[in-house]
A and B are shown apart, each in its own frame.
Chain A
Amino acid sequence: MYFNVFGEKVSRRRYKEMCEAAKNRRELIAAGLTSRRDLFKMGLLTASGMLVAKSGLSARAYGQTQTNNPPSSGGTNTSPGTNQNCVPGNQTASPPTRAFISPLPIIPLARTVSALSPTPTENPNTAAGEVRAAPFQAPQIDSTRFPVVPATLYKFTQKQFTTSGMSPDLPAQTLWGFDDGTGPRSPGPTYQAFYGRPQLTRNVNALPNINQVNNTGFGMPSVSTHLHNAHNPSESDGNPCDFYPAGHFCDQYYPNVLAGFNSDHAPNGDISESLSTLWYHDHRIDFTSQNTYKGLAGFYCLFNQFDTGSDQTGFRLPSFPQHDIPLMFNDKVFDPTTGQLVFDLFNLDGILGDKFLVNGVIQPFLNVEPRRYRFRMLDTGPSRFYEFFLTGNVGGAGSPTTNPYFLIGTDGNLIPNPIQVQSVRIGPAERVDVIIDFSKFAGKTLYLENRLNQLNGQGPAAVDSQLAPQNSSTTECSGVLNSANQGAIKPAGAGDLILKFNVSGTACIDNSVDPATNPSFYQLPSTTATPRIVRTFKFDRLNGQWSINGQFMDCNQFRFAVQQNSAEHWLLTNLTGDWTHPVHIHLEEHQIMNRNRVAPTVPTDLGRKDVTQLHPNERVELFFRFRDWLGKYPIHCHNVVHEDHAMMALWHVVPQGDNVAVP
């Protein structure tokens, strides 16, 4: 049996090809022949960008190429825990913190307000300090259904605050968060939103202005809040190029309406396009990574008549919020002498932390009842990928155990039926909804463990790990693998134990649906429509500059025009052999048609997506519809460090689209 890094079975022939490709790649790197120009010159790269199959370019002793050593940094970077590969040689390890002594914070639900002053207006109220690109689109479509001032209103004020909640072993931290009227917090309050109930959020920037700087060393108090995954009109989407400083606000209209409502599924939209786990975060161009790292992110849970939030109705999923718990994962670094949260501002590749947080706390625990829970798991990055296993018997007699659980949603959207999995992998900005059944574990302790090997901002240990044999019978590549890089997946119990579950109490009544009975959720929308156009996007690095089709982000340029209410295929390609890009596209979700022309098989690839992992040397074909709304949106890498360094392009939806195939 042979597997690739995604756990997919591959043929023996394919496996050997992969071994050879990795070996070639390492030799080429060792020989300094890594630009495409060089490879062309040497006749080693075909026009389609694939490495020519070859053997024996032993430009350097093989042993020298095996280790994944970081650039030399004059011997200053040797302390344990240092993220050697992801920072320019000057980042030190965080101070020690105790694990599993703080409870997991359950993020409170956002509080509505009865009125906003001044009253929201269809056109941006610039006189009152509002910064918005255009009038609200929804009331123009149907002002009865989408009144300019909807019944559900929120006022979210972005503020600086201090908290000592991250760890009792660290000093109080200065963060940026959202205040719904109950005090600033990070993660921000969780929206509980409903289809058919439009809402409006006034996003106020009250971060320290430039005259009251109080900066902790990173973060730009200039914001644009994006509602990630929402089928939203562009003026309320939170575009990276529309930002505003302290003292200003933006009213954002969230219609909570299904895709297709104003086109092919009028008037209510396509139920198969239902969304459930969305999130909001700052998207200020060039500063998104710092600002989200500093705390500007939160959940937005969207319900309807099927996904009701009650285990008594609809799909009978575990009840929100008691047994349906959003989990926000991120990794961070703290200064060893001051204990303060730090961010490497001078990094281009991607940033890894050595502390793992869930809902703002380092390695918390959660007491659970022996019953089913739904967890909405979000990776906010900046650059880390996770592969989550449910590990038991840690430290007990015998080996740690790996326990299966059920995947029910990808990027927060329910898949047609639950899939039992041993693990799921997510990258920055991706979400998965899972059901864990603790009923068999009363009195026991389980851990959510990240077993993915990631050494730097490039993505999961890339080239070598793709070859990692997942069973011991595969030995052909043993000469290619090296001990410093154990492969993609660490052994059970040897990864990062991030969240501890104490299963306490006795068996209880559980009305929620048992995923093992194979309940049905939404069917996938059809992808058979003929695309109006196929567009290609090459994600690349040109002299250290992140690019899409050889071009760079420019707020003043729309790279292409999508025709409103049309279908398109997009080909995302990654010619590099060592970077993984989690690619996010705003406005509508997509489905993955194929990876390198093979239909996807990994469970997290099978549903609707708004972020697709683009792996090294890969071409992914996506199906899109662009319905209902007009205006500008971006496509970008959601490794937020790449995103902040121009791996983004703006496009727009217009009545008559263009035919730019390589935008």
Chain B
Amino acid sequence: MPDVSRRKFLGLTAAAPLAAMALAKGAAAETAKVWPTVTEESARRRLQQLNLPNLPLVTHEGKRVLFYDDLVKDKAVSFNFFFANCDEVCPLVMANLARVQKLLGNQVGRKFFMYSLTLKPEEDTVEVLRHHRAMYGAGPGWTFLTGKPDDMEKLRRAIGFSYPDPAIDKDKTQHIGNVRYGNEPLMYWSACPGMAHPNFIAESLAWMIHPDQSRVQAS
């Protein structure tokens, strides 16, 4: 059981002297260990491996793409999850994103790339995505994506759209409505609610385009 193994481990590192001594011996041997040199590139590679898997996806235009190589690498981006027949959170978030795209103007598609990924790849075919995308008036730079169900599920977990409670996680009506944003080469990542005010979502995404700007607001 995972919980038990974790506790066991913590107990080992921190509890009774016997265990601590045993561990100390083990760790002492490790001090000779030569750690690999860490560079900015290796940190970036680690993030890619853990969180930005290079999975094959299909765009609303039917184009085959690789998630990391084609969509994320060297770019400032946002992600959100939706499905076409969702009548709860999705319409609110997607309508917000349509406004966000207008607010960011022609930066989208040049300096910033928006991605909406389906939670129901079985239903959301390329045709459905294209139709749905048109409904929100999405312009260039806002790409709708589907893929193999297993891949979409892996991706959802990798980029942090899952609940700790598996029962809630399974319930698609409660799916996570956040918009994850980031700047891949600079390794800046955070997220904001997709139901926040579109002005503030747009501002948050723009931090990834111009991360060296200051902000003050008089009260």
A311 to B72, CA, bound (A): 60
Contact status A485-B219, CB under 8 Å? no
Q: Which of A44-52, A267-275, A539-547, A619-627 contacts B (4 or more CB under 8 A)?
A: A539-547
| Interface flags, A48-66, vs B, CB<8A=1, else 0 | 0000000000000000000
Please list the residues of chain A having a beta carbon within 8 angstroms of any beta carbon in chain B: 29-32, 34-35, 67-74, 77-78, 80-86, 88-91, 93, 95-101, 124, 131-134, 168-171, 209-210, 213-218, 220, 222, 234, 241-246, 248, 286-287, 335, 337-340, 342, 344-349, 354-356, 363, 394-395, 455-458, 484-485, 493-498, 542-547, 552-558, 578, 630-632, 644-646, 652
Q: Which residues from A are CB-within-8-Å of B204?
A: 286
Identify 18 new A-B residue pairs, CB closer than 8 A, beyond the known A133-B217, A215-B40, A355-B13.
A29-B168, A67-B1, A71-B164, A99-B13, A134-B219, A169-B27, A216-B40, A217-B43, A348-B178, A349-B163, A394-B17, A395-B17, A455-B3, A542-B195, A543-B88, A544-B163, A554-B199, A632-B219
Q: Which residues from B are CB-within-8-Å of A170?
A: 35
Please list the residues of chain B having a beta carbon within 8 angstroms of any beta carbon in chain A: 1-6, 8-11, 13-18, 20, 23-24, 26-28, 30-31, 35-36, 38, 40, 42-44, 46-47, 50-51, 88-89, 154, 157-171, 173-178, 180, 182, 185-197, 199-200, 203-204, 207, 211-219
A70 to B168, CA, bound (A): 12
Could you say which of B40, B159, B191, B216 has the most chain A C-beta atoms within 10 Å of its C-beta? B216
Q: Which residues from B are CB-within-8-Å of A347?
A: 160
What residue in chain A is nearest B193 (Cβ atoms)?
A545
A90 to B197, CA, bound (A): 32
Contact status B9-A243, CB under 8 Å? no
Q: Which residues from B are CB-within-8-Å of A77?
A: 2
**Contact among A29, A455, A497, A558 for B14, CB-based, below 8 A:** A497
Contact status B31-A169, CB under 8 Å? yes
Contact status A171-B30, CB under 8 Å? no
Contact status B14-A286, CB under 8 Å? no
Could you say which of B167, B191, B211, B215 has the most chain A C-beta atoms within 10 Å of its C-beta? B215
CB distance from B50 to the nearest CB of A (A): 5
Can you identify 18 A-B contacts, CB atoms within 8 angstroms? A70-B164, A81-B13, A84-B6, A85-B3, A95-B30, A99-B14, A133-B218, A215-B187, A217-B47, A248-B214, A340-B43, A346-B159, A348-B160, A363-B14, A556-B217, A630-B219, A646-B192, A652-B219
Contact status A395-B16, CB under 8 Å? yes
Contact status B10-A354, CB under 8 Å? yes
CB distance from B123 to the nearest CB of A (A): 19
What residue in chain B is nearest A450 (Cβ atoms)?
B14
CB distance from A571 to the nearest CB of B (A): 23
Q: Which residues from B are CB-within-8-Å of A131?
A: 214, 216
CB distance from B38 to the nearest CB of A (A): 5
A213 to B183, CA, bound (A): 12
Q: Which residues from A are CB-within-8-Å of B10?
A: 81, 354, 496
Contact status A73-B177, CB under 8 Å? no
**Contact among B9, B35, B200, B213 for A93, CB-based, below 8 A:** B9
Q: Which residues from B are CB-within-8-Å of A335?
A: 46
CB distance from A453 to the nearest CB of B (A): 9
